[in-house]
Copies of this chain bind each other. A is one copy, B any other.
Amino acid sequence: MSGKWKVNFQPSGRRGEVEAGKTLLDAAQRLGVDLESVCGGKGTCGKCKVRVEEGYFEKDAMESRMSHLSGLSDMERKFIKPEDGPQMRLACAAEVHGDVKLFVPEKSRAGKQIVRKAARDIRVTLDPAVKKYCLKLEPATLHDLSKGDAERIREALQTEYGLTDLEMDYTVLRDLQDRIREGAWEVTVSVWMDREIVKVEPAFVTVSYGLAVDVGTTTVAAYLCDLETGKVVNTESMMNPQVPYGEDVMSRITYAMTHEDGLATMRNAIIGGINELIDKITADIRANGADGGAAIVDMTVVFNTAMHHIFLGFNPVYIGRAPFIPAVQDSLNIKASALGIRINPASYVHVLPIEAGFVGADNVGVLIAEEPYHSDDTVLIIDIGTNGELLLGNREAVCSTSCATGPAFEGAQIKFGMRAAPGAIEKVRIDPESREPQYKVIGKADWHTHIEKVNAKGICGSGIIDVIAEMFKAGIIDKSGKFVKDLETPRVRKDADGKPEYVLAWADETSIGTDITVTQSDVRALQLAKGALYAGAKLMMKRMGIEKLDRVVLAGAFGSHIDTAASLTLGMFPDCHIEKVYAVGNAAGDGAIMALINRDKRREACQKARWVQFVEIAVEPGFEKEFMMAMHIPHMKDPFTNLKGLLEKEKVPVNIKG
């Protein structure tokens, strides 16, 4: 059947028409419906369950009535369980062939994320790439026909400020004469890198803004800086609007490869999202009579390599397959107008350099913010976003690598995993005697004490680290991650497949109507993630001949929220004195801010990005052994004791490139 069909999503009430053959996930994305899609529509996560209210007749007695959806696929049969209730489908699999009405259960909703990235105070010399100069020009007369207005401004900049050979952007030229006369021959000129005039404003204007942006896979954070003081004057953040097209990097690369206009769609989403952030972050500036985004005369941006390519409209296919070659590694200066970014159109967006196919400009941001190359101590910097990126070294040498941690730290691949949104269990303690848990839910001030209903919905990344560390300490799982048998507690039981699970919250404490549990598979997913981190760090240490870490720096929003003790308990990274393990928040964003307010930081970024040695850990000798060892809690000397056999028996796929 061809044509278009009406699709109606409840409880949001969003409705519209889609072409026959599109999936319900396509429809949800087009209509802006809040629907989880961790795997980006590849049918591997099973998170996009929706209940069909009208138009689907799974077991209809009247055979003459046609279903308005495609038939149930094998993939759906695998993910949909009896406890999900009747008429349930996976949105990514069910195709529309007639009018339908759907209900999105709360569990399938992505939810509005709480964004916790925030920039620290940064100490750096104020020397921005864009500077403002006030000029009082000689009005033109008939006796002075030797120059045009552009030459008049250039001469004044040379005479008064010693700036020579300046170019002038074409868009600046276009209204130059009007601007000069509006200001009665007094103008303020913004000059980029002592090389190009990017703005001419009438009259004397001393306030000057720059914007630093950190495009994370999940979160986009923007920092508005006053370029005259170097201070961050406003901060805004949002969920990356590309999330509906896939929650992780590989899902988005796949989306670009498998959808016509997929790249353009995702590119437009992030450009539009940044423009929204610009509108919000400059709302007060507009209120003061100036002109919002146009008041921003400089911008820096960091992201991982895939976000970098998609933002710039580069086909990401080549960074998604061996040999993982990016289009460009060096820093870029691209006109905001060419990118569609709504700041002063003649201004440049400075894209920080990337290190290698898997280590992006965000890691370069971390690098120039934390400056391990100036450190006498040997420092390990772990930036845990959707991927894990490591920097290791000191002033002698620094190595970097990217670890395929998978999205477990972000709550994906975990049965009740979710992002750090309201309802997520974020902290857990388990009494070693009773094995009864206490937990804290995002959005609630107090720890859950079994007295009031807390409406838990799932477990976020820091909660998963906490609960598994606590399960280990309480003897619920052993060093290999296996559930200990025959414990006398109703909290440990078998699931429908006969595998053990730990009940963290009973159904009546939740808003989803079912028990929230931690399964054997969840433990394995976390072991794989932390093992990848640990093994990466260990192999880099080996390669550099480093025996011991002096400091461990946890960068990224996630790094700020995990419990240091829990991370040491689990063995997420090689041993270090607990007082020398600390979080620095969004160091990638800090790096973007530094590059905004100090132009030398841009040179430093380019130079150090090349100087840092990228290590492809998956091809290092001994990787598999190190990885298997690292999966233990804590890591063990002999990995082959029993873990490998266990994993094989449990059919846990041990895959490095997530």
Q: Which residues of A contact B (CB under 8 A)?
A: 140-142, 144-151, 168, 170-171, 173-178, 181, 312-315, 317-318, 322-330, 332, 334-335, 338-339, 354, 356-357, 610, 614, 616, 619
Asked whether, in the complex, the Cβ of A151 is within 8 Å of the Cβ of B329, the reply is yes
* Partner among B148, B325, B338 whose Cβ is within 8 Å of the Cβ of A148: B325
Q: Return chain B residues, CB-CB under 8 Å to A312.
A: 170, 173-174
Asked whether, in the complex, the Cβ of B150 is within 8 Å of the Cβ of A356, the reply is no
- Given known contacts A140-B325, A322-B142, A614-B145, is B330 in contact with A150 (CB within 8 Å)? yes
Q: What's the nearest-Cβ distance from chain B to residue A644, in Å? A: 26
Copies in the assembly, this chain: 2
Identify the 9 closest CB pairs spanning chains A and B, nearest first. Answer: A150-B328, A148-B329, A148-B326, A142-B323, A140-B325, A148-B328, A170-B334, A177-B318, A145-B356
- How many angstroms from the CA of A174 to the CA of B149 in the assembled complex? 35
- Given known contacts A614-B145, A616-B145, is B150 in contact with A323 (CB within 8 Å)? no
Q: What's the nearest-Cβ distance from chain B to residue A68, in Å? A: 40
Interface centre among A147, A170, A614, A616 (most CB of B within 10 A): A170
Asked whether, in the complex, the Cβ of B175 is within 8 Å of the Cβ of A315, the reply is yes
Asked whether, in the complex, the Cβ of A329 is within 8 Å of the Cβ of B150, the reply is yes
Asked whether, in the complex, the Cβ of A328 is within 8 Å of the Cβ of B619, the reply is no
Q: What's the nearest-Cβ distance from chain B to residue A267, in Å? A: 10
Q: Return chain B residues, CB-CB under 8 Å to A314.
A: 173-174, 176-177
- How many angstroms from the CA of A144 to the CA of B325 in the assembled complex? 9
Q: Return chain B residues, CB-CB under 8 Å to A317.
A: 177
Q: What's the nearest-Cβ distance from chain B to residue A541, in Å? A: 20
Q: Return chain B residues, CB-CB under 8 Å to A327.
A: 148-150, 173, 176-177
Q: What's the nearest-Cβ distance from chain B to residue A182, in Å? A: 12
Q: Return chain B residues, CB-CB under 8 Å to A144.
A: 323
Asked whether, in the complex, the Cβ of A323 is within 8 Å of the Cβ of B177, the reply is no
Asked whether, in the complex, the Cβ of A357 is within 8 Å of the Cβ of B145, the reply is yes
Q: Return chain B residues, CB-CB under 8 Å to A149.
A: 318, 325-328
Asked whether, in the complex, the Cβ of A177 is within 8 Å of the Cβ of B140, the reply is no
- How many angstroms from the CA of A148 to the CA of B141 in the assembled complex? 53
Q: Return chain B residues, CB-CB under 8 Å to A357.
A: 145
Asked whether, in the complex, the Cβ of A170 is within 8 Å of the Cβ of B325, the reply is no
Q: Could you jot down 12 A-B contacts, CB within 8 Å?
A: A140-B325, A144-B323, A148-B328, A148-B329, A149-B318, A150-B329, A170-B335, A170-B338, A173-B327, A174-B314, A177-B317, A178-B315
Q: Return chain B residues, CB-CB under 8 Å to A616.
A: 142, 145
Other contacts beyond A149-B318, A173-B327, A181-B318: 11, CB < 8 A: A142-B323, A148-B325, A148-B330, A149-B326, A149-B327, A151-B328, A173-B328, A174-B312, A174-B313, A176-B327, A177-B317
- How many angstroms from the CA of A144 to the CA of B324 in the assembled complex? 10
Q: Return chain B residues, CB-CB under 8 Å to A334.
A: 170
Asked whether, in the complex, the Cβ of A168 is within 8 Å of the Cβ of B328, the reply is yes
Q: Return chain B residues, CB-CB under 8 Å to A329.
A: 147-148, 150-151
- How many angstroms from the CA of A604 to the CA of B334 in the assembled complex? 30
- How many angstroms from the CA of A322 to the CA of B144 in the assembled complex? 11
- How many angstroms from the CA of A324 to the CA of B140 in the assembled complex? 9
The closest CB in chain B to the CB of A139 belongs to B323
Asked whether, in the complex, the Cβ of A145 is within 8 Å of the Cβ of B323, the reply is yes
- How many angstroms from the CA of A173 to the CA of B315 in the assembled complex? 10
Q: Return chain B residues, CB-CB under 8 Å to A151.
A: 328-330
Q: Return chain B residues, CB-CB under 8 Å to A614.
A: 145-146
